[in-house]
Amino acid sequence: MARKASLSGFPEWLPAERVVEQHVLDTLRRTFELHGFANIETRAVETRAQLLRKGEIDKEVYGLSRLSAEDDKNDPNALALHFDLTVPFARYVVENAGHLAFPFRRYQMQKVWRGERPQDGRFREFTQADIDVVGDGTLPFSYDVELALTIADALSALPIGDFCLRVNNRKLAEGFYRGLGLEDPDAVLRAIDKLEKIGDEAVAKILVEEVGATADQAAAALALAKIRTLDTSFVEEVRALGVEHELLDTGLDELSQVIAAASKRAPGKVMADLSIARGLDYYTGTVYETVLVGHESLGSICSGGRYESLASKGKKNYPGVGLSIGVTRLVSRILAEELVTAARSVPSVVYVTLAHDDSWHEAQDVASALRERGIACEVASSAEKFGKQIKYADRRGIPFVWFTHDDGTHEVKDIRSGEQVSADPASWAPPASDLHNTVA
């Protein structure tokens, strides 16, 4: 199980735990690239004006300044650490638009910083893995479908057990609320977004007392939020509520396209869930949230949506759709539940022993021959008794120990089984399962 960090909210992994994190990152990288996403990395800092232009989480942003400098919180050009990868990506697109081919597909895996209260699954420093597709002026809706399928592929390849990608559409929700006669759909969405935390009665009370809904309107909004299907039957359930609006029709059509494709290509993994609201204002269509089945208390491990105008410059507008995976949140739960473990804590497969102090260079020749063929190894630092050298290799988690005899012959020992055989540095290889450090 992962240790608690000495500084709350800033996790540090032990070597074997880091192997698990690297496995997650490598798996995501491989899947994203198979789907044609190019990798970028943006700087860790942005201006405060850039980060706070929508004013979502100003109390959670870490400012950046020299210790000797006077901190002016009102200076829009002062620097701060980015709290997500979407805002830096929007700036990146605007600044580099002339060098990008649109629609531009990118993935990005970096640390971000957020000054919130640390708790299970929430950190102040954590790694995110994002994918986005951005268009120049327009972006076909088919990318909303493709993003859901890409994430379903990526999460299916991870050692996390079952998951559910829950999808809704802001147009569907807004059209429904307007069809009910509620003229502040954003306020309704903010209330519905609290449904899982505070329950039906509390949300209904907010809708009536703060949003101005009637009891019947609040009941209808809650009825919509109860609809969940793994196929397109949600359309009939929404129609049965008797609400009509042009925007509702558009939202139903768009969500149907996502769910129809997902039910065919990722059956059981993607659900139409009409309670999903997503709190950020820039989402304009499809919205996604993902939970681990059996670990719902962890919250969403992957979320995002469609934004029609996240990035813009002058008359230029860059719509996009994207999803962000909380890698550190995922890894923390994998480690805490011991869902997987690393085969060993070090990359070394072979520990080359020293028969005597003068044999160090000869041992390095053996190591070089092994490394040339991709076999990770390390050489003993001193010629202690073989028993001590073997014990050291065992403590390191290295499975094979190499011996060179005075007559120039070699033997290698699997210290797990005790089997010891003759070996040639130019041709010997470990079993394929031992060649690389794996997780199981």
> What pLDDT shows up at residue 1?
46
**Amino acid occupying residue 132:** D
**Amino acid occupying residue 358:** D
- Whether pLDDT at 293 is above 70: yes
Q: Which CATH number fits domain 350-435: 3.30.420.40, 3.90.1200.10, 3.40.50.800, 3.40.30.10?
A: 3.40.50.800
What is the tens place of the pLDDT at every residue in 32-63? 999 999 999 999 999 988 888 755 566 788 98
**Strand residues in 63-172 grouped as ranges (E):** 63-64, 79-81, 104-113, 125-134, 163-169
User: What whole-number distance in Å separates Cα of residue 6 and Cα of residue 82?
Assistant: 23
What is the tens place of the pLDDT at every residue in 387-435? 999 999 999 999 999 999 999 999 999 999 999 999 999 999 999 999 9
User: What whole-number distance in Å separates Cα of residue 228 and Cα of residue 43?
Assistant: 40
> What pLDDT shows up at residue 60?
84
Residue carrying the six token digits 């907010």: 206
Q: Which of 439, 338, 341, 335 is nearest to 121 (CA)?
A: 335
> What pLDDT shows up at residue 354?
96
For the chain, which residues make up each domain, given as ranges?
350-435
338 DSSP 8-state letter = T
CB 399 within 8 Å of CB 385: no
Distances (CA, A) of 235 to 224, 241, 261: 11, 10, 15
Both tokens of 237, joined, read 């359930």
Residues with Cβ within 8 Å of 37's Cβ and at least 6 positions away in sequence, in order, are 105, 106, 107, 131, 150
CB 150 within 8 Å of CB 277: no
| CA 437 to the chain's CA centroid | 22
What is the tens place of the pLDDT at every residue in 68-79? 777 666 788 889
* Cα dihedral 277/279/281/287 (nearest 10): -40
User: What whole-number distance in Å separates Cα of residue 39 and Cα of residue 250?
Assistant: 33
- Least trusted range by pLDDT, from 86-90, 189-193, 309-313, 372-376: 309-313
- Whether pLDDT at 82 is above 80: yes
Q: Pick out the residues of the known binding site for L-histidine.
A: 84-86, 114, 128, 132, 278, 282-283
What is the tens place of the pLDDT at every residue in 197-248? 899 999 999 999 999 999 999 999 999 999 999 999 999 999 999 999 999 9
Angle of helix 215-225 relative to helix 195-209, nearest 10 degrees, comes to 160
User: What whole-number distance in Å separates Cα of residue 299 and Cα of residue 267?
Assistant: 22
Other beta carbons within 10 angstroms of residue 176's beta carbon come to 27
Please compute, for residue 90, the number of CA atoms within 13 A of its CA located in the half-sphere on the CB side: 24
Other beta carbons within 10 angstroms of residue 65's beta carbon come to 13
CB 259 within 8 Å of CB 232: yes
pLDDT band of 281, cuts 50, 70, 90:
low
23 DSSP 8-state letter = H
CB 334 within 8 Å of CB 116: no
Q: What is the mean pLDDT of residues 120-135?
A: 94
Other beta carbons within 10 angstroms of residue 34's beta carbon come to 12
What is the helix, strand, coil percentage profile of the chain, to 5?
40, 20, 40
CB 276 within 8 Å of CB 168: yes
> What pLDDT shows up at residue 58?
65
Q: What is the mean pLDDT of residues 75-101?
A: 93
- Whether pLDDT at 117 is above 90: no
Strand partners, 304: 288, 323
Q: Which of 428, 421, 419, 331 is nearest to 373 (CA)?
A: 428
Residues with Cβ within 8 Å of 229's Cβ and at least 6 positions away in sequence, in order, are 237, 259, 271, 272
Q: Pick out the residues of the known binding site.
A: 84-86, 114, 128, 132, 278, 282-283
User: What whole-number distance in Å separates Cα of residue 321 and Cα of residue 140?
Assistant: 10
- Whether pLDDT at 103 is above 60: yes
Please compute, for residue 303, the number of CA atoms within 13 A of its CA located in the half-sphere on the CB side: 15
> What pLDDT shows up at residue 124?
94
What is the tens place of the pLDDT at every residue in 11-33? 999 999 999 999 999 999 999 99
CB 189 within 8 Å of CB 173: yes
b (16+ CB within 10 A) / e for 303-313: bbbbbbebbee
CB 275 within 8 Å of CB 199: no
pLDDT band of 121, cuts 50, 70, 90:
confident
- Whether pLDDT at 374 is above 70: yes
What is the tens place of the pLDDT at every residue in 156-190? 999 898 999 999 999 999 999 999 999 899 899 98
Identify the H or E element spanning 174.
Answer: helix 170-180
Q: What is the mean pLDDT of residues 75-90?
A: 91
**Cα four-point dihedral sign 98, 99, 103, 106:** negative
